[in-house]
A and B are shown apart, each in its own frame.
Chain A
């Protein structure tokens, strides 16, 4: 009896094939971020992306946890795609400090030599990644919305928005290792959480050396008053028109602006009604604006108004008249009375 077919079978089981990265650098790392004992959703998105990339070049995915009492989060990283988790569980890393986090990661990178290192472009990731990249003397592609591999050169290609999100650039780091990138939250799929996946959570020692945290975190829930954002710089503008009928209707537009984190403005009609000030008129003789999102509530949209918003990236119009001019330029045209649609929008936003 010939049992040689079993040999082939055994090889199949041997796990990912380890291909050689530049000068002994291999594997993909995701530096995890946790808050209040749970992993940040953006970390899981990065983990999902790391898994996809790793499967293309046959390497392992490592999750890296820094902090105090974070070891327990390792299993979740494994369920989301990590093969191995390195946990630097130290009291000195309990609170984020640029110096100690940079030192801890630099120490681990030197020891394990990852080929690719990913972080989420959260406030923490955006603070830490460039400092770490400078320490490691390597390139960093920040705010990526897409990651690919150039298989011929085994390079990570990162695509990121530039010029006020009007276009994308793609960059690579051809020589230096590790190749680093930060991933913009919300642009990558959350991985399926497979609780049957297995992997080790390894506790690692890091040498913090002379590195000392210098920041004092005074208040983690500080408020910021940004009421004076000028209309021309606002990212989201909710604009009111005569179709809102009365002050009660205008109050709805104000509520919607607050719920969306935007600024309320109006047409000339709204100014005539006394709802908005002179600095909040959109159109000819008022402000020309370029928000990411413009919501026109009860505005018919004559050319004097629409001229002011021709640079708006995305326009939503709410108007009972389907043939109103604003409905022709809107990306989303809602046929209906703003006074009944806005409360429904507020409710849908709250979910």
Chain B
């Protein structure tokens, strides 16, 4: 089975701070990490991988995204491809899906594509279904448990207010919930090899035969905003029952609980 895992590199959130009162985001430390959803996707793919299987990581990004791919290699992927080109700089999610689809096709298609449900930065959660449509594969999104089955794969996905068990034939695309696949730590020897021996292949727009028209983004950014600062120090006292009702109502209003 050939499993392809599209991954994303994002700005490390622990190096960012957000000031609601100043309405600004501050980058205290500009470091890039592999997105937590992507790490979960690599983990999910590696858990499925048998001796005969191959796991390939792909990433669309700037040259520095190579680091994320090397981390995926260290975790256990067999090959890594960086899809990088100046022409990709303006890509939105529809264009990224097209770039990934071209790469998957150049690799001769996949039996299974595993990716994160949504990224930790812009988190649109669109790449899985868009890629599935571009490749003509079926899709199972927001998956919490994944196993190989007789027909292809068996997955437990979020559905309605709970979860549903689904079977899908191959080829298929699965997007996984980061909270359900805690990633492994790479083996020390693999980390060394990932940085010193193994290659990350770079493909650009001509390699993928992508015309300029296919790279035009559809969405345009129209500004950013911040939530109002949270109030500190609202004090509730008195009878426990009436406090409890007020507190639950306040939490629901804050969307802190469902």
Interface residues of A (CB under 8 A from B): 35, 98-99, 102, 122-124, 126-131, 133-135, 137-143, 150, 157, 159-176, 186-187, 214-224, 226, 228-230, 233, 236, 260-261, 292-293, 313-314, 316, 322, 327-336, 340-341, 343-345, 347-349
Contacts and interface: CB of A to CB of B under 8 A. Distances in A.
B224 A169 contact: yes
B257 A134 contact: no
8 tightest A-B contacts by CB? A344-B244, A139-B218, A130-B126, A130-B129, A131-B129, A134-B133, A344-B240, A219-B165
B38 interface: no
A216 B155 CA distance: 10
B216 to A, nearest CB: 9
B139 A131 contact: yes
A224 B165 CA distance: 10
A335 B234 CA distance: 11
Contacts of B159: 123-124, 220
B168 A224 contact: no
A276 to B, nearest CB: 20
Interface of B: 13, 16, 18, 25, 92-94, 97, 120-130, 132-134, 138-142, 144-145, 151, 154, 156-160, 162-169, 172, 178-180, 182, 218-227, 230-237, 240-241, 243-245, 247-248, 250-251, 254-258
Contacts of B162: 221-222
B234 to A, nearest CB: 5
Contacts of A130: 93, 124-130, 133
Contact of B225 (A170, A218, A220): A170
B222 A171 contact: yes
A171 B16 contact: no
11 contacts: A129-B129, A130-B129, A166-B226, A171-B220, A215-B138, A222-B162, A293-B256, A331-B232, A334-B237, A347-B244, A348-B247
A344 B241 CA distance: 5
Given A127-B141, A328-B232, 6 more contacts: A131-B139, A137-B218, A173-B218, A221-B163, A331-B230, A334-B247
A214 B220 contact: no
Nearest to A322: B235
A162 B125 CA distance: 11
A141 B219 contact: yes
A131 B139 CA distance: 9
B237 A316 contact: no
A135 B134 CA distance: 8
A167 B25 contact: yes
Contact of A134 (B97, B140, B248): B97
Nearest to A328: B233
A167 B18 contact: yes
B236 A223 contact: no
A113 B120 CA distance: 34
Contacts of A137: 94, 218
A215 B244 contact: no
Contact of A157 (B133, B222, B234): B222
- Which residue among A127, A128, A236 has the maximum number of chain B CB atoms within 10 Å of its CB? A127
B225 A167 contact: yes
Contacts of A215: 138, 140, 166-168
A143 B126 CA distance: 11
B220 A173 contact: yes
Contacts of B231: 331
Contact of A169 (B122, B157, B256): B122
Contacts of B144: 224, 226
Contacts of A341: 240, 243-244
